[in-house]
Structure 1
């Protein structure tokens, strides 16, 4: 009889993993951070991220699925004092954080960070907004927690390479939400470290295909991250412990590879990721934005609007992630936002890539659908090599009369290299929030955010965000 032997390590050796030095540094950094440590450009950008997130949440909350979910959760989760922004309903903290995170991704207009390859703000802010009022946090506390949570989430995204089959939503954002909540609770360095380790193993293993197929469950991923961020702090504060190096385990071998710990502390406290963010004006996946910007230049070259029926073909050469969005016949609004052929076609049909340009009514227009089938999308490996600093796209449009136009975009409008101005971000907020609450109430929220760092508490902001939508409010 064959004898089997196993190389089993003793338990003491399995438990002997050393805590990484970057984590010790992060614990001290997070515990010691104050509002006075934030450079003025970081404060300004944090205010804009706060305003932008509120706008996209309020607008997204008007979508039929969100309205239905708010109604269901009002019955199942019960009432609370944390607003589901734009709904007029208050919920317990975890439910509000979940609903606001979900609503903030519904329209694909939430801000992001190109270096982290994801959307840190919407993964952090709903949790901070849910925790802050209960802790009588000041406006400065809120902005500091937002910048801190944004920073660690982004840095994990930068330091790790998620598997190509993984969607970034719901992954490292959980650590960002948790650390923001821990900071609002004035956690010390040891508690910060434990919160990071716990949160790192509570994230989702998300599928990239979900977004490509139009699986709208994808919109819930950011909501889950915010809800779990609150839970991670509750666990840490209650004495629950995580792995010694949860981030390294999860993002170095479970859902990601090649985790580089040095990037977690590179210029820590000097380079702030929230100050390198981008804002979105096209209501579609950011990978479509370079081609949409180039198409906008082509429309200007042609002297004005181009009707879909006038177009013989559109050819797009772009980087790999954008080239993957080549399905011409999306089945619903979410899939349409992740279809480069449809995004270009509906841009021409509607004059802009607005939320309405991706709704079912716009998606059913035959001329738009026909043009989407005449769009060819190819990867150019030379353009792929320019990631992540650039997001290039070349577009050639040929008209039925034989005329041809071409344009190239190296960066997306709104990126750090070509940023929207503060006034443009505020204009976007007004466009999204005005139809929800009315122009005067939206303006009151914008004014409150503009001076939030001087607010002694969050009561005024919470009151404003608790208001119900105006009759018939929608975006």
Structure 2
């Protein structure tokens, strides 16, 4: 529980943050440095591709159909069923579910937080419904991302985390993005944020490792809650000025670091510290997956799975919690370091299919998975070197091979090249939306028109072969 001095300090810093954010939103896309616009555009198209890519999962498309039934209307596009549309809140719900279903959405590296996931579904739905421009959507994304990631840093979750950030933080990111898109005052924006914090869900982090699929619904539900918080704030229905401390410090027993809400504000934007996933599993496992793949591509290029005597994974504390060795479904597999490493070693690949249902029951994967042991890495550094992994494979003949990855590919210190990112986007979308990759490349290019209506951009991204790029 926070003392009165700390609570007051945190409330003052939140006011400073929301005043800055409201001014930024009022200035529009022109108020953002060019590098920040580019980063925001990258986050947008990456997360939209993650949504579209989830269309191959039956449950995701059924969620979209549910949204269309429960929220009838033509306000916002359902990315897994375009050109189908729904009321903006329900569209944000369905798109939020889709965005994190395959574990390929963008994330934030300085805290346990997926800034894009918590802002993009709501910002896109709101701006499309209001016929706003791409620039407005990106500005709203930047504002929501800045606020939710600073909240995550100011109220850092205990480690290992008991609750999942998709449940506790997504309403805040969504509310901030929607409020920014609507041009709310700083006071109303602050009320939306505090109100959204009180609408957070108590979603156990362990649900992911146990394969409880409701975990994939939290970000979507948070998007809906964010709309509600923004709507209520505009009516004067809000939480208290110290609402964040009441929720996170008093209710969830998080520590409080008020300075994190404003330190360096406007110097380096939070979107600049995001990462992009190339491996379809929890980011905590990425360094281990990359190390296993390097071994398979190198000294173990011709090995047989039955030659493996043991696999030792030395990694960071967050990854040590992902220790399930008998995942019951795809979600559990994505949150299992033993499974992710075993599947990578057996297949020699890190393609999204490696983390799908196809390999969960594979005998060779199961045998190697049972030989994986996790232990703490002996030399964990400062960010971004705080999530390392060393994988050591010992063969039955006595040979031993190791590879270490200090920081996984995709983070701000090892960013994806434009070609690699567009390759990921094309792989996720080409089967249903053949022009998505082409339009995404233009959106990320030098000549992008920030004033293009977002609805027009979404229509071009999701056009099928019969429609062309319209």
TM over 0.5: yes
Matched residue of 1:269: which SS? Answer: coil
Match of 1:338 in 2: 335
Provide, for residues 139-188 of structure 1, a one-character-per-residue CA deviation record: whole Å limited to 9, x for no partner.
11111111111111111111112242111112123211111111111111
Report if the CA contact (8 A) 2:71-2:90 is conserved. Answer: yes
Equivalent of 2:156 in 158, 161, 174: 161
Cα deviation for residue 115 of structure 1 reads 0.9
Q: Cα 1:119–1:109, aligned 2, differ >3 Å: closer, same or farther?
A: same
- Paired position in structure 1 for 2:439: 444
**TM-score under structure 2 normalisation?**
0.91
**Which of the residues 43, 47, 56 maps onto 1:53?**
47
After alignment, is 305-314 or 236-245 more displaced?
A: 305-314
Determine the C-alpha separation between the residues in 2 that align with 1:113 and 1:85.
23
Cα distance change on mapping 1:389 and 1:193 into 2, 3 Å: farther
Q: Which moved more, 1:394-403 or 1:448-457?
A: 448-457
The answer to whether structure 1 residue 299 and structure 2 residue 290 are counterparts is no
Aligned to 1:225: 222
Counterpart in the other structure of 2:408: 412
What value does the CA root-mean-square deviation take over the aligned residues?
2.2
Shift of 1:52: 0.4
Q: 2:139 aligns with which of 119, 144, 152?
A: 144
**Aligned ranges 1:289-438 → 2 under 5 Å:** 289-302=286-299, 304=301, 306-380=303-377, 382-383=378-379, 386=382, 389-438=385-434
Out of 254, 257, 260, the residue aligned to residue 257 of structure 1 is: 254
The counterpart of 2:231, out of the listed 229, 234, 238, is 234
Deviation at 1:92, TM superposition (A): 0.4
Q: Distance in 1 between matches of 2:61 and 2:464?
A: 12
Verify the 8 A CA contact 1:200 1:247 in the aligned structure 2.
yes
- Secondary structure in structure 1 of the residue aligned to 2:166: coil
Deviation track 1:267-305 (CA, whole Å, cap 9, x = no partner) reads: 011121110111110111111111111112222331635
Q: What secondary structure does 1:132 align onto?
A: helix
Is 1:91 aligned with 2:82?
no
Q: CA deviation at 1:463?
A: 1.9
Cα distance per residue 1:395-429 (max 9 Å; x no partner): 11112332211111111111112111222111111
Q: What is the alpha-carbon distance in structure 1 between the residues aligned to residue 188 and residue 224 of structure 2?
A: 19
Cα distance in 1 for partners of 2:197, 2:343 equals 39
CA–CA distance in structure 1, aligned partners of residues 302 and 175 of structure 2: 47
**Residue in 2 aligned with 1:205?**
202
Structure 1 position 354, deviation (Å):
2.7
Question: How many residue pairs end up in the alignment?
Answer: 454
Give the CA deviation at 1:213. 0.3
Distance verdict in 2 for CA 1:324–1:27, change over 3 Å = closer
Deviation at 1:383, TM superposition (A): 4.2
- In 2, the alpha carbon distance for the partners of 1:469 and 1:323 equals 45
Does the C-alpha gap of structure 1 residues 408 and 19 become closer, same or farther in structure 2, counting only changes over 3 Å?
closer
Matches of 1:238 and 1:19, distance apart in 2: 24
Aligned 8 A contact 1:86 1:469 in 2: no
Report the Cα distance in structure 2 between the residues aligned to 1:92 and 1:166, rounded to whole angstroms.
30
Matches within 5 A, 1:21-100: 21-33=12-24, 34=27, 35-88=29-82, 89-100=84-95
Contact kept, 8 Å, 1:445 with 1:461, in 2: the verdict is no
Which residue in 2 is equivalent to 1:4? Answer: none
Residues 22 and 92 of structure 1, relative CA distance in 2, 3 Å threshold: same
The verdict on how the C-alpha distance between 1:121 and 1:151 changes in structure 2, with shifts beyond 3 A counting, is same
DSSP-derived class of the 1:401 partner: coil
**Larger Rg over CA atoms:** 1
Q: What SS is found at the alignment partner of 1:454?
A: coil
* Corresponding residue number in structure 2 for 1:187: 184
Ranges in structure 2 where 5+ consecutive residues have no aligned partner = none
Alpha-carbon deviations, 1:170-208, whole Å to 9, x = none?
Answer: 212321111111111111122112112111211112101
Find the residue that maps to 2:366 and give its secondary structure. Answer: helix
Aligned position for 2:450: 454
User: Relative contact order (C-alpha < 8 Å, sep 6+): which is higher?
Assistant: 1
Which residues in structure 2 correspond to 1:9-28 (within 5 Å)? 20-28=11-19
Question: Partners of 1:319 and 1:207 in 2: how far apart?
Answer: 20
Instruction: State the 1:19 CA deviation.
Output: 8.0
In 2: Cα distance, 1:19 partner to 1:353 partner = 43
Report the CA distance between 1:18 and its aligned residue: 8.8
Q: 1:168 to 1:388 in 2, by over 3 A?
A: farther
